[in-house]
């Protein structure tokens, strides 16, 4: 009835090991997952290098330009509201002045 809590519990199910496909065409599950790419034999290489000082400066310049464009767009959107608010304020002042003269 008592269980030893120091021993790790063994898994109830063992994982299924799927061997690689033996045929050149590939198995059914590979074609289902990868589609038509399973039968291609092309090799593609991706080269990754460290950035030097010039590359780092260029990357920082691009990031700075993107941030500047976003900031200018945000400020521009806010600046559109200044004339609209000024017109509303002027209309309110004129309405108030006209209303005082009538009474």
Among candidate residues 10, 39, 44, the one with its CA nearest the CA of residue 27: 39
Q: Is 18 helix (H, G, I), strand (E, B) or coil?
A: coil
What residue numbers bound the domain in which 73 lies?
28-42+51-102
Which carries the bigger pLDDT value, residue 99 or residue 28?
99
Domain membership of residue 14 (yes or no) is no
pLDDT at residue 66 in the model: 97
Query: What is the reported pTM?
Result: 0.41
Which tokens go with 17?
């090991």
Domain membership of residue 83 (yes or no) is yes
Q: What is the pLDDT of residues 16-58, one digit of tens each?
A: 777 776 555 555 555 555 555 545 567 778 888 888 999 999 9
Highest mean pLDDT among 1-5, 76-80, 89-93: 89-93
Domain membership of residue 3 (yes or no) is no
pLDDT at residue 19 in the model: 75
């Amino acid at each position: 009835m008592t269980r030893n809590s120091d021993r790790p519990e063994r898994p109830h199910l063992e994982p299924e090991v799927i061997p690689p496909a033996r045929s050149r065409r590939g198995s059914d599950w590979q074609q289902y997952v990868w589609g038509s790419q399973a039968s291609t034999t092309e090799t593609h290489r991706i080269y990754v290098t460290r950035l030097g000082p010039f590359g780092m400066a260029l990357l920082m310049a691009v990031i700075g330009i993107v941030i500047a464009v976003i900031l200018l767009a945000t400020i521009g959107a806010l600046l559109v509201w200044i004339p609209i608010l000024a017109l509303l304020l002027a209309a309110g002042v004129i309405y108030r002045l006209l209303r005082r003269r009538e009474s």
